[in-house]
């Protein structure tokens, strides 16, 4: 896999979520069928060019490229609300709960889902909905963090890509990052191998 297996963004829609520390959500979303790529970064604030040591008012955020023919935005919203506690106020702004819609339809679905889960959970949610944000990719050591802890496997995957950036934006890395984090199986990955490509994503 690599440049030769890249696909057009037209196959994918993009979504952005903040739900606490971004390492585990990156693995959770990346393990799902229909997800082309994931990336972690910062969004939702006004501080220019945020970095991990200088986040200002930004939140830890994940970018998800998904194929709507396989995985709908509403399915992503369900995962979002189910894998963290949207009722709890964050201990720090960087760990806040937020949905960042990219268009009016995503915004409509986000508001509907937040209202639905507020009724289901029986209280007000802390989840913010902010359309039109700018996303800043995080530093390399945060990308596919759990996968990078498995150095031998990560190095084997690196051999298939010219650049680190291409690897961490690939479907292959998303699936293996999910697998080593306890989501999905090696068999699931092997069934998908022929189609494990992804869009380039935000820069």
Catalytic (active-site) positions: 21
For every residue of 93-153, DSSP letters joined together read GGG-EEE--SSHHHHHHHHHHHHHHHHHHTS----EE--S---EEPPGGGTTHHHHTSHHH
Residues 126, 89 contacting (CB under 8 angstroms): yes
Q: Which of 36, 82, 42 is nearest to 58 (CA)?
A: 42
Residues 74, 66 contacting (CB under 8 angstroms): no
Residue tagged 């960087």 (tokens): 94
DSSP-derived 3-state class of residue 98? strand
Cα–Cα distance, 194 to 140 (Å, whole number): 27
Residues 97, 86 contacting (CB under 8 angstroms): yes
């Amino acid at each position: 896999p690599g440049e030769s297996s890249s696909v057009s963004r037209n196959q994918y829609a993009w979504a952005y979520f903040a739900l606490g520390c971004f390492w585990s959500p990156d693995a959770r979303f990346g393990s799902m069928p229909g997800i082309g790529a994931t990336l972690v970064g910062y969004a939702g604030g006004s501080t220019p060019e945020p970095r991990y040591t200088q986040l200002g008012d930004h939140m830890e955020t994940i970018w998800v490229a998904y194929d709507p023919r396989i995985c709908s935005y509403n399915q992503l919203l369900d995962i979002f609300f189910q894998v963290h506690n949207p009722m709890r106020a964050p201990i720090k702004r960087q760990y806040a709960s937020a949905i960042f819609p990219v268009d009016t339809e995503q915004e409509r679905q986000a508001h509907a889902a937040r209202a639905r889960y507020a009724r289901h959970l029986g209280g007000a949610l802390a989840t913010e909905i902010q359309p039109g944000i700018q996303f800043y990719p995080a530093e390399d050591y945060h990308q596919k963090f759990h996968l990078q802890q498995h150095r031998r496997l990560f190095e084997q995957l690196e051999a298939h890509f010219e650049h680190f950036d291409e690897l961490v934006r690939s479907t292959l890395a998303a699936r293996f990052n999910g697998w080593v984090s306890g989501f999905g199986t090696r068999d699931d990955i092997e069934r998908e191998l022929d189609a494990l490509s992804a869009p380039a994503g935000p820069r």
